[in-house]
Structure 1
Amino acid sequence: MVSPEAEAVPTSALIRLVEARWFRTLVIVVIVINAIVLGLLTSQTVRAAGGGLVGRGLVIVDMAALSFFIGEIGIKLVAYRQRFFRDPWNWFDLVVVIIALVPASDSLKVLRALRVLRVLRLVAAIPAMRLVVSGLFRALPGMGSAALLLLLIHYVFAVIGVQLYGGTVYGGYGDTGYDYFADLGRALYTLFQIMTLESWSHGIVRPIMDVHPNSWIFFVLFVVISAFAALNLFIGILVNAMDSAKDEQESHMSAEEVADPAQRAILDELRSIRAEVRDLRAQLDERQDQAPAARKAPSRTGNETENTGKAVKAGNAAKSRKTAKKNSSA
């Protein structure tokens, strides 16, 4: 039977391999090469170059990259074991590799297209990109509130726009003109185009101003509130979330994460030694507590024996005195 110490030796060696800087750099290089190969494979001219040799060579490189990714996942599974599944980024890598292993038949063309998801492994391989994605997910609740606020602003201005500018065909769009505020749905789309600042002035506002000269107040107010205020609110929420994610990452960075694998192995050994020392101290304290009780027990027994002997001697002396008195009286 293999001892836990002997089993931990190859596991720690695999952890040092996976977490080594050169290995992570190699993974990034393979991902970049695989991304370039996948891009070249989309070109029929490149695939047909050299009588098809270039295309076959690119396919071989793609299969080699996939084999490397499978080996990487296998090493991580053996090294980390249950801890592998605690990291969501490992789940992402595993799903991407599994999708690449599915046969790309005609009925599964979508899965063939999803092979390019392997490029997204750069997000998991580069810590800075992981921080950005973590900040983005952290910002989703706040961005949802901001999106609801922006929707309310659109709804209010759309209702007002239908009431003020609906029912009129304006120039600037097509040959016969266009009613930008004919109903609520058309008004919402018109305001969305204005918010994106896409042809909002000469395409929408100026034709309406030809009929309603004071309408510029309505549109300028909407642009200031939606495009300048609300959209910048999204940016502020995202930046704040990224700062929070960075602070949390730094605060949770322990000595194990800072040290290299060799130092982590030394720390683990020190922890085990400290645990053994605590156990030995507890056993020593128990023995010291039992020793005084063991010493006191014999002393109490000796005192009782001595007192019993004195009582017997006193009884014998009393009997001898009584006997002497009887003899003298006789």
Structure 2
Amino acid sequence: MSGAVTLNSGFSMPLLGLGTWQSKAGEVEAAVKHAIKVGYRSIDCAAIYGNETEVGAGLAQGMKETGVKREDLFITSKLWNTKHHPDDVEGACQKTLSDLGLAYLDLYLIHWPHAFRRGDDVFPKSEDGALLFETSVTPTETWLALEKLVEKGLVRSIGLSNFNSLQINDILEKGKIKPCVNQVECHPYFNQEPLRKFCEEKGIFIMAYSPLGAPQRPWATPDEPKLLEDPKLMEIAKNHGKTVAQVVLRWQIQRQVIVIPKSVNLNRIEENFSISDFTLSSENMELLASFHRADGRVVEPRVNGKSRDGHHPHYPFRDGLEF
């Protein structure tokens, strides 16, 4: 095991979990079941991934075959952009619980701070193909509705995803419950150190998605640097008898960043979990910290090379905002 952290809600969360983004139908059930067998106790899900029913089947089979109890698992899911209206939040959570076959979630996040038009179409569009936004609901209003899920026992802890520091501060000022985590893209080429420090001061943990640089992202171009092929990282990995992926995950763990590498490859799931038997030196940690690039963000909704959601007033990655 790679350890755990105590969230500000009082619950313990493993530092290492299995991600399920882009895990296809027919593969994710076996991946989740195998992860539980290997020793994973944290699984990260989201309604928009479209696979929570299969994830739920994997959870059920994994628990049945290993004897692991529900209370030993930490299950995270996320509220999608079309369900930000306070009246829609509980129904969306109940749908996720039903799909996963669970009575409660350990952690529920607002997937993005900006809302799309209400309804069951997850990407509502106008006749000309433009995405339809909802601008009247603020991220903080949605947050206040999430707080009620905790009061009702549907969710044990709540948090954020893709929120910037200004949006977090607004929630801290107006909410009753403090966010436990902020899940964001985070890897050596985009280390989120300013945001990590800010959140640490507020008692909020950073949770890293795409911790390996999202090598399978379909929009990657041939000229972009490939994190897992970085010569300096390959040298560190060779010295430790580990893979580059294991080194990068270990780096996150040592900086107290929760990490959720996605894989449906059973051998890689085991490999990603095997990172507790070595430690990176302070020199190694400093070297990885130096990899950060101003243009290192690779997971951002874009259309024809331009930001898809950038003109939404609550879009988090705005020019001039440091973090």
Report which structure shows greater RCO (CA 8 Å, sep ≥6): 2
Output the TM-score relative to the length of structure 1: 0.23
Higher share in strand: 2
Output the TM-score relative to the length of structure 2: 0.23
Higher share in helix: 1
Larger Rg, first or second structure (1 or 2): 1
